[in-house]
Structure 1
Amino acid sequence: MPDRSPKNNWYQNLNLEQKSKWYGQIADAYNRTRPRYPEQLVKRAVEIAQLSTNAKILEIGCATGTATTTFAELGFSLVCIEPNAEFCQILMRNCAAYEKVKIINTTFEEWELEKSQFDAVLAATSFHWVSSEVGYVKTAETLKTDGYLILLWNTPPQPTQEIYQKLLDPIYQTYAPDIKGYEAIATHQKNINGMGNKVIDSGKFQNLVSEELICEVTYKVDDYIALLSTLSPYIAMDSEQRHTLFANLRTSLHNYHGKTINLSFLSALQVAQKNFSTLSLGRVRE
C-alpha cells in the first residue's frame, strides 16, 4: 500500500531504477519506525493459505523485513526480493539468524521467474509498487497449482482526528497544503478493499479472504516525525520545505503532548488462491 492510500498511483510512473532508489535515504528511519505486522494477522494468513511448516514463500518488496522476520520465526523458507540496496543491507542484518531466508537485490519485474515453485507469494505493503502488467501474471506463474497470494497492509500510524485538526492541520495548511496529513480509517478500508478487488479482477486469483485490525501504538514524538520522513509524499518534498514542516510539527506536538504521542493504524490481510479455472484454460489453449 502506498504511504497514504492505494488510490494514489503516481508511483507507477516511476521507472524501475527510480523505484529501487526511492527509499535509500531513509532506510534506517524506516527500519526503526515502520510498524510491524500483528502476529495475529500473520498466523491467520498462514492458516487461510494452509501453509505447512515446510512451505516455501516468495516475498516481494520486503524492505527491512517488517513482515519477513515474523514469517521466518514460524520456520518458513523465504526467498526475499528487495530492489533497494540500503534496505537489503539492513534486511541481511535483521535476518542473519534465519538460515532459511535468501535475499535477492532486484525488482520483481527483473527477477528471473521460478515457475510453479512457491506455496505462497507474500507482499507486505509493497504490491502496489509492482507494475500491474507484470504483478498478477508473474505471481500466478511462480505459484504452485494450489498456491496463495498473501497481501498484508499497514496504514501509516496517525494521531486522532481531533489532535490533527487542533494541532497539525494549521501547520500543514501553512507549510505543506498539498499533503493530506490525516485520512479516516474508513478511507483506508475502502482503498484496501479496492486493492483486493484488483486481485480478483486480474482473473488469476479466486476466493479472496480479507480481515483487519485497528492497532494502537505509542511513539516518541521524534520517532513519529522520523516515521513521516519515510512516507513518499514527504520524501518527494523539497528538503527545505520538509525541514520547516517537521520542525513546526515537532514543536507543536512537544508543547501539547510532551515526549510521546498515541497513534493508531489499520492492519489488514488479503489472501487469495491461484485460480484453477485460469490454469485449466491456459492448458487447453496450449
Structure 2
Amino acid sequence: MTEFEKTFEEAAEDYEKSRPLYAKTLFEHIFRYKQIDSASKVLEIGVGTGKATLPFLETGCDLSAIEPGEQLAFYAARKYAAYDHFSLHRQTFQEFACPPESFDLIYSATAFHWIPQEYGYRRVYELLKKGGVFARFAYHAGADKKRHALTAEIRSLYQTYMDESGGAREYGEEDASALAQLAETYGFADTTYRLFGMTKDFTADAYMELLRTYSDHRKLEQTKRELLFNGIHRAIQKHGGVMTVHYTVDLQLARKPLSEKGEISCAAASKIN
C-alpha cells in the first residue's frame, strides 16, 4: 500500500460520513449500456466504504469487491453483510487472483486512479468476458458557485499553503472524452462517456471532515495543513456557515469486443502472487 493509500485508509470514518452518494441516473445509464441481473458476475475495484455498491447488489448479481484498506473494507463488509451474493476481498487489484473472462461487468468508483494505468486497463480487459463492460466513474469537487467571496478566499488559502488554485479549473467534457478514448488504446470498443452534476452542502465542521478524506491534504506538512484547514473553517463561518460543493461526476463506459480481433493479452503484465 502506498503512503497516499495509507493516509486515505486512516480517514475511513470521515469518508463514510462526508463523501456523497452517486446519482441514481448514473447507475441507470450503466444498466442501459449493460443489462445486469442475478445471472451476472460483477467486480468492483476499490469498494471503499461501499458508496457505489448497493445499486449493483440490488440487481441480484454475484458481486465481488476488492479493497486493500482494512478499515474501509470493514465498513463495506458490515454494511452489506446481509447480502449473500456479496463477497469482499481485502487485497489490492494487483493481488486479486482470478481466471480470465470471469466477469460480465467490472466497475470502479473514484478508485481506478490508484492503479498503474497500463496494468489496470489490460488486467480489466483480461478479466472481462467477451462483450463484457468496464465502467469507470468518479466525482470531482468544484467550487461554491453561489458564494463568490467565500470561493475567492478559499482559493487564496490554497495558493498560499498548497500552491494550487483550489478548484479554479473544473473537470469538463474535454477531460471526460480523453479518458473514454484512453480505453480504446487497450482494445476496448463502443467507448462512451457522460457527465453528471450534483451538489452537497457542508457546514464548516462537516467540510473539515471531507477535507480529511483527501490524501493530498493529509499528506501536507502538519503546520501548513492546520493553517489551511483553520483558514477554510474560518472563511466558511464568516460567509454564513455553509459551503456548497458542486460535483462533476464523469462516467466512462467501454466494451470488450465479442470477436477475437483486437483482444489484448496481458499475461506478462498480470503476474499475481
Give TM-score scaled by structure 2 length. 0.88
Identity across matched positions, percent: 25
Question: Which residue of structure 1 aligns with residue 49 of structure 2?
Answer: 64
Q: Given the alignment of the two structures, is residue 144 of structure 1 paired with residue 129 of structure 2, yes or no?
A: yes
Q: 1:216 aligns with which of 196, 199, 213?
A: 199
Alignment of 1:145-160 (within 5 A): 145-156=130-141, 158-160=143-145
2:15 and 2:156 mapped to 1: Cα distance? Answer: 26
Counting only pairs closer than 5 Å after superposition, residues 246-265 of structure 1 correspond to structure 2 as 246-258=229-241, 260-265=242-247
- CA distance 1:275–1:177, change in 2 (3 Å): same
Counterpart AA for 2:56? F
Cα distance change of structure 1 residues 163 and 143 upon mapping to structure 2, 3 Å threshold: farther
Aligned residue number for residue 179 of structure 2: 195
Are 2:179 and 1:179 equivalent residues in the alignment? Answer: no
Is the counterpart of residue 272 in structure 1 residue 272 in structure 2? no
Give CA-to-partner distance per residue, 1:166-190, whole Å, 9 cap, x none. 321232233x1423311433x4443
Give the unaligned 5+ runs of structure 2. 266-273
Deviations 1:21-45 (A, max 9, x none): 2412111111111111111111210
Is the contact between residue 190 and residue 254 of structure 2 (CA under 8 Å) also seen in structure 1? yes
Match of 1:166, SS state, is: helix
Q: How far, CA to CA, are the matches of 2:50 and 2:142 in structure 1?
A: 18
Unaligned runs of 5+ in 1: 1-15
Kindly indicate which of the two structures has a greater share of residues assigned to helix. 1
User: What is the CA–CA distance in structure 1 between the aligned matches of 2:244 and 2:156, rounded to whole Å?
Assistant: 20
- Write out per-residue CA displacement over residues 197-248 of structure 1, whole angstroms, 9 at most, x where no aligned residue: 2111222x11012112111222222112211221122022012221121111
Please list, as runs of the form range in 1=range in 2, the aligned pairs for 1:82-101 lying within 5 A after superposition. Answer: 82-101=67-86
Contact 2:150 2:235 (8 Å CA) reproduced: no
1-structure distance, mates of 2:136, 2:226: 34
Superposition RMSD in Å = 2.2
Q: Which residue of 14, 17, 37 maps to 2:22? A: 37
Deviation digits for residues 118-139 of structure 1 (CA, Å, limit 9, x no counterpart)? 1100111111211223211211
